[in-house]
Chain A
Amino acid sequence: MLIKKLRLKLEKIGKIYIIPTRYGLYFLLFVFILFLFSLIYGHSMAFTSTFLFVCLLMSSAVITNYNLKHIQVRSSSAKITTQVDHPSEVGLILNSLHERGAIWIEGYSSSNFDFEASPAIELSTKEKTQVKLSLRPHTRGIFQHSNWYLKTSYPIGLFTAWRPVSATLTIRVLPKSVDYNIVPLFLEETEMAHEHFMLVERKNDEDFYEYKPHAEGEPWRLIDWKVLAKSDVYLKKSFSADQRNGRYLFDYEKLVDLQHEERLSQLVFWTLQAIDTKIDFVVHLPGFKHQYFNSESSFENLWDLYATYKVPNS
């Protein structure tokens, strides 16, 4: 009964592994030399010193081991968004029943991620402490990472102990945001902008607002040819939508010179720039309908799309 209980509890904390550090090995060598001393000289003082240092070694191992017990690790349920090859921080929350020495947390690196260890922190009793560790993703996608390990060499640094813990973190990795300098994103509605980022055509005149005189330099296609035919006046239709900035179309298929991943990178770059400057835009990816985004909307769906997009087989 007791053993079963103990085993259950041990399973709950997980296994704690412990090995000597480089300094621990030096210390072991030192203790071994002392032991030789004691045997050669058969001397109480030498034996006592040896025993003392051996026991210091063992006690420090116990404390290092104990340092990792009774700690809960929690992850936030929110998705973390990052980009390929872009080092970013993720946060985990540590909750401890007792005070702790220096502990840091690391992730098990995989083909998708490289993790860097968090800085060492001291935990206080029954307080949540947020630890940040940085990761560098290799591929885009939506991943769930739940394998971490707590690590410590506290207090003397003679031993390193680690303990696998699990806390699921959802990480969405976008393509790397790269500007291939094909066209700069025009922040004002100019002819160049019209050439490259086609404004979305309107289906009907429901939002017709008024006629405005056509100014020189404005695109010819704005001219209302019917009015011109009737009255020989160059007028252009203005719509209620035009009171805002125009909508930009980010079209996957237009980026013909680039590879698949490069195209996505360029799209992400434009998208981020558009969000920063509060421009409404439309993204066109083959296999998906045109999707309209304005600066107030949530971009969750778009990020999911970028992270997981595959060109459909034609």
Chain B
Amino acid sequence: MILKHPYYNKLFTFQLFLLAATLPFVQQHPLPVLFFGLVLLLFPWFFLSLKDVAHKTIKISLVFFSLALVLNSYGTLKGLEPGLSLLLLVTLLKSSELATKRDQFIFLLMTVLSLVGHLLNVDQLIYVLYILLMALWMIRLFFSSEGYDERRSQSFRWSTKKSKDLFFIFAIAIPQAVLLFFFFPRFYVGNLSFSGSSPISKVGFIDELNPGDWSKTVEDRTPIFRASFQDGKPSRGGLYWRGAVLQKSLGFRWVVGDVPDDLERWGFFIGRGDIDRRYRVDFDSSFEHRLFTLPFTIRMDLKSHGRVLNTPGSLYQVHSSQSQAPRYEAATSPPWGAFDLSEQEREQYLQVPEVSNRLQRFATDFKSRFSSDQELIQGLLAYYHEQPFVYTLDPGSYLSRYPEDEFFFQRRRGFCEHYASFTGLLLRLWGIPARVVTGFQGGVYNPVGDYFVLRGEDAHAWVEAFTPEEGWTLVDPIRAIAPWRIEYGAEAFFLQLNGLDDPLNSDFEMNPSLWKRTLFTIDSYYYRANLFFTNYREDAQRSFLDYLGLSEFSPVRLLVFVGGIFFAFYLFSLFIYLPKRLPDPAYEMDFKLLKQSLLKAGFEKAPYQSAGHFHRLTEKHLPEHLRDDFSRLVHRYEILKYSSQTTSKSLERDFKKSIQLFIGELTRRG
């Protein structure tokens, strides 16, 4: 029953707007905030039904509760994400008071503000369209919100005229916005104190590997980043994008653990040595702080805002006050060759949890067959290949006391996580220092744009083993079990695995179908446009101006230039809408004729005289037979001029005829 009340209708419309504006970004908020937000969304009438004082008290305490909740969830109030969570909660609280037009307007503005805030995390060209739609909806809501028009009358409702004007506003606003986008001088203000980086990681990887927990991630087809190479397309099989290194084995599970500090050794290579391969990575959205890099990356040039941190395990992270999608150029060196681990490192990388006797026995037996570490590793890969190990995304859960035993000896079903985890453990049992690395592998190559797209489905885990002769070498058991996954990439492999297609038989990438080619082309153009859009800052603007031949322009001159363009635009619009004089209606012209002929006869109508006044003065001097006609004409003229009705054509024609008759009569008599 409550839902039928017009107020709640309005409330739901506004809440729907809020939902539409924030729902796509819901994953950016932690769970407690979302839960509390849901409560506020579902029960605003609970707060409404309270009496005045209680209402205010409860609302103020809810604001404080929101503040505490955000502080508790993020550990800080600084930064974009805590700010957005707080804004979201306060906006939802605001939805419990939408009684006046002012409240509704503020609610809409707060919602749009939080939308823009959320968009800062995605940085995608496509979202410009989204914000445009939302702006359209916002203004539409404001149009129809109660009391929009201060002097509204009953007849004033939403009309086609209004929709036309609404679209007209957008039609003239959008080109202006585009102009401003290109020419408004950009300058970097620097990090203001109230922004801080978010301590919450949102998507993808956590510092732990628990075999089986990625089965959802690898079904995700959202692009994570795109990578292009300067020196031609490398082979996909060699593209391992390292994201996290897990050193501590808890049996089947791996965690980051106590990190051995190898920064000193790594630091020796950074910025020196030969360059093997240069590449560029552009993220689609901000993805924690990890910068995914190829092994032996020694140069890192961050193109987005922030500072690069070198972290243990030869990994890179970005430290930025802005959750901006990272973009960087990097270069790898050839493998570093032989070196030795320190005692402490060796100890860390050989740490093994308690394992079953059966596994221990297997390890000892297997090792005895080979003479060197390299042979041992190759032997293991060969063993994986020969034995009936199955690559599947649906291996079920391993819940026994020794899940690694259940996996290796009994079921032998799993995907990269399972194999990497077990291989790392086995290598350590053999006395080979090993660590599990998570990240991405492969990706889809776009032949049109010459880059790789890495999606969630390309997530991968592998092992790095240490030998004194070669240093850290990559050991990927999947190469032995499902070589197609590595060679053809996850997309093609999963298609084939699901029996949907058999792309492995055809030359999938070099000879794509028309449909695929179209998709590749669209993706390629979008990628380039997006790159231009997101990178359009001081330097990009400068080179754009250079391209246009406006290289002389300083920011101040640019501002004057933009101002000039806008002034010209508005002057132009003024000319377009230049006041056109309303044309004199037909009866005015006819009456003018009458006045002229009377002037000839010696009766002049002064400008201050109304028609009636003129008539009273003139009538008695006219010949008697014309008086009646004259007063009838004046009367008709007054009706035509002052009636609120629109004059009909036939009436005007009649008037004209009688005027002509009258003039004829007047001139005949002299």
Contacts and interface: CB of A to CB of B under 8 A. Distances in A.
User: Do A and B associate with each other?
Assistant: yes
A59 interface: yes
A45 B189 contact: no
B149 A77 contact: no
A128 B587 CA distance: 15
B646 to A, nearest CB: 5
Interface residues of B, number: 81
A155 B166 contact: yes
A124 to B, nearest CB: 9
A45 B570 contact: no
A127 B173 contact: no
A53 B115 CA distance: 13
A39 B189 contact: yes
Interface in A1-59: 6, 9-10, 12-13, 22-23, 26-27, 30, 33-34, 37, 39-49, 51-56, 58-59
B153 A43 contact: no
A122 B120 contact: no
A153 interface: yes
B169 A102 contact: no
A63 B642 CA distance: 29
B611 to A, nearest CB: 8
B330 interface: no
Contact of B156 (A22, A48, A102, A130): A102
A154 B188 CA distance: 38
Given A56-B139, A120-B151, A46 B116 contact: yes
B536 interface: yes
Given A91-B644, A101-B161, A128-B644, A51 B184 contact: yes
A52 B132 contact: yes
Contacts of A66: 577
Given A56-B170, A95-B582, A127 B186 contact: no
B497 to A, nearest CB: 38
B590 interface: no
Nearest to A14: B579
B324 A41 contact: yes
Nearest to B140: A156
Interface stretch (A68-76, A174-182, A215-223): A68-76
A119 interface: yes
Interface residues of A, number: 67
A59 B169 contact: yes
Contacts of A49: 116, 119, 131
B572 to A, nearest CB: 11
A51 B180 contact: yes
Contact of B123 (A33, A44, A54, A60): A44
Contacts of A76: 642
A59 B123 contact: no
Interface of B: 80, 101-102, 105-106, 109, 112-113, 116-117, 119-120, 122-124, 127-128, 131-132, 135, 139, 142-143, 148-153, 155-156, 159, 161-162, 165-166, 168-170, 172-174, 176-177, 180-181, 184, 186-189, 191-192, 195, 305, 322, 324, 533-537, 566, 570, 573, 577-582, 610-612, 638, 641-646
Given A45-B120, A46-B119, A101-B162, 6 more contacts: A40-B322, A44-B123, A49-B119, A49-B131, A51-B181, A93-B642
Q: What are the 5 closest A-B residue pairs judged by CB atoms, nearest first?
A: A130-B644, A119-B153, A55-B173, A51-B180, A55-B176
19 contacts: A22-B102, A39-B189, A40-B192, A42-B305, A42-B537, A45-B122, A47-B184, A49-B119, A51-B181, A52-B174, A63-B165, A66-B577, A70-B580, A77-B610, A78-B642, A93-B642, A130-B644, A155-B162, A157-B148
